[in-house]
């Protein structure tokens, strides 16, 4: 059983640079066909100051930690039992190559279903850039299954 005292706690903020090469690698790996996401000129023609981060990229930025399984390890969760249940994003200012983004992740809730056979962890991450502009949020629902 995951320690419920994590509810309401925030993890140390992460400061991460958004790199053009990383955005291009993501575009390639996802079969992105729109040059706005890999060609600087196309991005600028579309009104971006540099390559834009795609809609789900906050999730990737959050992996740029020394321990990318930070909350899983902190909460003592077995990695092989983790499933991604839900993911939500809300958007404010765009994220572009060259930005430095600060991510702050807070555990909103932990609960269980089926008599403890499945536990749910809700994490909400707030993002701002180097100018202090709000970049929006992402909310992850992590499901921990008991294989027994």
Partner 1 sequence: MSVFAQGVTYDGVAVGDTLPAVSSKPISRTTLALFAGASGDHNPIHIDIDFAKAAGMPDVFAHGMLGMAYLGHLLTAWVPQRAVREFSTRFVAITQVHAIVTCTGRVVEKREGNLVALEIEAADQHGEVKLAGKALVQLP
Nearer to partner 1, 2 or 51 (CB): 51
Between residues 4 and 117, which has the closer beta carbon with respect to partner 1? Answer: 117
Question: Please, what is the minimum distance in Å from the beta carbon of residue 33 to partner 1?
Answer: 6
Dist. CA 57–CA 26, nearest whole Å: 9
Question: Are 7 and 120 spatial neighbours (Cβ–Cβ below 8 Å)?
Answer: no
**Least distance CB 5 / partner 1 (angstroms):** 25
* Nearest to 123, CA basis, from 76, 80, 87: 87
Minimum Å distance from CB 129 to partner 1? 15
First to last CA, the chain: 14
CA separation for the pair 30, 63 (Å, rounded): 17
In the complex, the residues that contact partner 1 under the rule CB under 8 A are: 22, 25-26, 28-36, 42, 46-47, 52, 54-56, 59-64, 68-69, 79-91, 94, 139, 147
């Amino acid at each position: 059983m995951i320690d419920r005292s994590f509810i309401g706690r925030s993890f140390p903020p992460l400061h991460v640079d958004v790199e053009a090469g990383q955005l291009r690698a993501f575009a390639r790996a996802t079969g992105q066909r729109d040059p706005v996401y890999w060609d600087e000129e196309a991005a600028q023609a579309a009104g971006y100051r540099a390559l834009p981060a795609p809609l789900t990229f906050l999730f990737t930025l959050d992996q740029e930690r020394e321990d990318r399984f930070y909350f899983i390890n902190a909460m003592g969760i077995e990695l092989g039992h983790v499933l991604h249940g839900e993911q939500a994003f809300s958007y404010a200012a765009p994220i572009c190559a060259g930005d430095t983004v600060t991510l702050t992740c807070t555990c909103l809730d932990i609960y269980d279903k089926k008599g403890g056979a499945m536990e749910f962890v809700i994490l909400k991450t707030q993002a701002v850039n180097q100018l202090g502009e709000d970049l929006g949020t992402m909310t992850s629902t992590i499901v921990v299954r008991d294989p027994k």
